[in-house]
Structure 1
Amino acid sequence: MQASGKVAIFDGHNDAVQHLAEYREGGRDFLMRSEQGHLDLSRAREGGMIGGLFAMFAGAEHPREGGVTRTADGYEVRLADPLDPTYARRTINAQLSALETMVARAGGNIRWARTVDEIEAAREDAVFAIVLHLEGAEAIGADLDGLEQLYARGLRSLGPVWSRPNIFGHGVPFAFPRSPDTGPGLTDAGKSLVKACNQLGVLVDVSHLNERGFWDVAAISTAPIVATHACAHAICRATRNLTDRQLDAVRASGGLVGFNFSVSEVRPDAQRDPDIPIETVVDHLGYLVERMGDDHVALGSDFDGALMPLPVRDASHLPNLIQALRAHGFDDATLRKIAFDNWMRVFRQSWR
């Protein structure tokens, strides 16, 4: 799948499901190269991306406008409203069915992966591997029956909340400059969900949790702490980023942070301006490595879910990042860890 000289990349987060032609009228065909969005099979192959966590996510049933307030030095986004669980279940089922249809249509070029061995076999066979992720657990009821049903269909990674409240906890609102300590953490149902994920073998993602929710996961979970797509609060003081104390806890648990490419979390000024040099991206990723060590950093691009820096504007440009990391002093062994091996290690420790 990857051209000679490219590093094999497993990516920790994308929102391509939201844009599938099988799901959305006017959506993109993942099997055809496009100039829209960030990710399709062709551009993944061009960039050396051999698979990733594909997020299912139920957006607002009735989207509202005007939620962003500009402040003197940043912004505040009004916290999203809770979702109706029936709507969430219907949406997630539609997205999963769309993914299943697309994979079946791929003629063997894409495979579901439920184990690390399946990811590595797909890589060996030059086949793209999809691991199923749920971003926000509104589609799972308090009885947790929905968790086992989704697991049976391939779910291996779950974020209890997105940036809104639900029965499991409180998501962190989008704001800058501001602490991620924005309110209550996990509910009793959320704590039960984390325990059930541990028992079943579903990775628990702390991305979009507020700080108190993060510490609740850290206290309860028997698996490594993982943020599939996040950055360092010390570099960019956005609520979605992790403080040094949180990064230290991730390292101590044996977990990892999937470095998020979103310009609003990467840029120190949090501006939604993609025109930044690749060195800004590398310096931010380098801070994570310096703080946590190279065993605890991976990639979690947020392709098709955020505004990308121009140097890594889509999956086909991933070699630009690898080349810049090499120029920054990262050797091949470290690059393999960040691009692929660290995800495999954490999956083996989290899955059953």
Structure 2
Amino acid sequence: MGSSTHPPIFDGHNDVLLKLFRAGRTSVEDSFVNGGDSAITLPSAKAGGFGGGFFAVFIPSPMDLDDKFEEMTKDAYDLPVPDPIAWEDAFPVVMSQAAILFELEEQGALTVCRTTAELRKCLSAGKIAAVFHIEGAEAIDPDLDTLDVLYQAGLRSLGPVWSRPTIFGHGVPFRYPSTPDTGPGLTDHGLRLVTRCNDLGIMVDLSHLNEAGFWDVARHSSKPLVATHSNAHAICPHSRNLTDKQLAAIAESGGMVGLNFAVAFLRADGKMLPDVPIEQMIRHLDHLIETMGEDCVGFGSDYDGAVVPEPLTSCAGLPKLRATMRQHGYDDALMTKLCQGNWLRVLENTWGA
């Protein structure tokens, strides 16, 4: 049996950069390196065996989050899709949040990894391994020049959309109950974006993309299909979750899904309420494993960007998740796959190194 913090969990999605950005970047060291109120900090990562993951850069839409979360506690809801964000507004935000990521690296808090060899080295050494990811491609121009430059800076994963339209495609609204089939597919710009990401070795993240866009990526991408932080629609019929048909296509491509800890996508009633037992997460894991196989499932917590189950409000609580998984009967080999091995496999097949 492994220890409470092993195997280290490599995670498909967090929003700690957004949290630090909103705090004004005045105390990055205090807020992350020395501990703070973020779900992920250096001390909580060490305590919980958080090995690293995808550190998302995200351009927030102006909205009242309290109103949004209140609406999502109702029996049914359909939040309006936020307005598009112009490139000239998005680009400075991406630069600022990316600078925070590299500042954390300068502080010795993490290592920005560009290859799976670097990821494996960090996980073995107990250092946080960070993948530079952008959630929503508003900062990418139609000619994709920005994409090429960001790749050179370390970008290795990109979501064409968040839940608002871009020049590349359309995201799903926060709607319950709903299928993910909520609008048109990728634009011509979006198809070129997928091809260029394939050529460069940038993973295309299907989370937040609507179903028509999902199938466009499936038809045009030469790489494994990946949803970094999504759950099973069969258990929670939310627009953000993936149908069994989508899950089967991901598995057929050799891709994977990272289980999202956001409670509205875990609960059968779709409500943004945190009284969710870890056993409900296991229900999703079991369904994902049954539908796709044990090589195609991992974690994508959405820490610092979502309401998560009460036992797991910080990554220091991850030993509780591991303990529940082991009690459920997951053996050491499966634990290693779910906690990090499947991510390493998919990224190696996507990045080529």
TM over 0.5: yes
Q: Which residue of 1 aligns with 2:110?
A: 110
Aligned residue pairs: how many?
A: 347
Q: Which residue of 1 aligns with 2:201?
A: 201
* Displacement after TM superposition at 1:70 (Å): 7.0
Judge which range, 14-23 or 118-127, deviates more: 14-23
Secondary structure, counterpart of 1:170 in structure 2: coil
Judge which range, 311-320 or 8-17, deviates more: 311-320
Which TM-score applies when normalising by structure 2? 0.94
Q: Which residue of 1 aligns with 2:260?
A: 260
Which one of 89, 99, 102 corresponds to residue 100 of structure 1?
A: 102
State the Cα deviation string for residues 92-131 of structure 1 (Å, max 9, x = none). 001111221221122xx42110000001111222221111
Equivalent runs, 1:267-278 vs 2, <5 Å: 267-278=267-278
Q: Higher helix share goes to which structure?
A: 2
* Displacement after TM superposition at 1:50 (Å): 1.2
Q: Percent identity over the alignment? A: 46
Q: 1:270 to 1:294 in 2, by over 3 A?
A: same
Secondary structure, counterpart of 2:163 in structure 1: coil
* Displacement after TM superposition at 1:63 (Å): 3.4
Q: Distance in 1 between matches of 2:126 and 2:210?
A: 38
Q: Distance in 2 between matches of 1:185 and 1:292?
A: 24
Q: Which residue of 2 aligns with 1:160?
A: 160
Partners of 1:207 and 1:228 within 8 A in 2: yes
Q: Distance in 1 between matches of 2:161 and 2:145?
A: 17
Which ranges of structure 1 fall in alignment gaps of 5 or more residues? none
Amino acid at match of 1:173: P
* Displacement after TM superposition at 1:344 (Å): 0.4
Equivalent runs, 1:229-244 vs 2, <5 Å: 229-244=229-244
Secondary structure, counterpart of 1:20 in structure 2: helix
Which TM-score applies when normalising by structure 1? 0.94
Q: Distance in 2 between matches of 1:282 and 1:27?
A: 37
Amino acid at match of 1:163: S
Partners of 2:238 and 2:265 within 8 A in 1: yes
CA-atom RMSD, angstroms?
1.9
Q: Which residue of 2 aligns with 1:325?
A: 325
Q: Distance in 2 between matches of 1:347 and 1:95?
A: 23
Q: Distance in 2 between matches of 1:25 and 1:114?
A: 24
Judge which range, 277-286 or 75-84, deviates more: 277-286
Partners of 1:207 and 1:230 within 8 A in 2: yes
Q: Distance in 1 between matches of 2:178 and 2:150?
A: 35
* Displacement after TM superposition at 1:25 (Å): 5.3
Partners of 2:263 and 2:270 within 8 A in 1: yes
Q: Distance in 1 between matches of 2:73 and 2:308?
A: 23
Q: Which residue of 2 aligns with 1:339?
A: 339
Q: Which residue of 2 aligns with 1:177?
A: 177
Partners of 2:21 and 2:97 within 8 A in 1: no
* Displacement after TM superposition at 1:24 (Å): 2.1
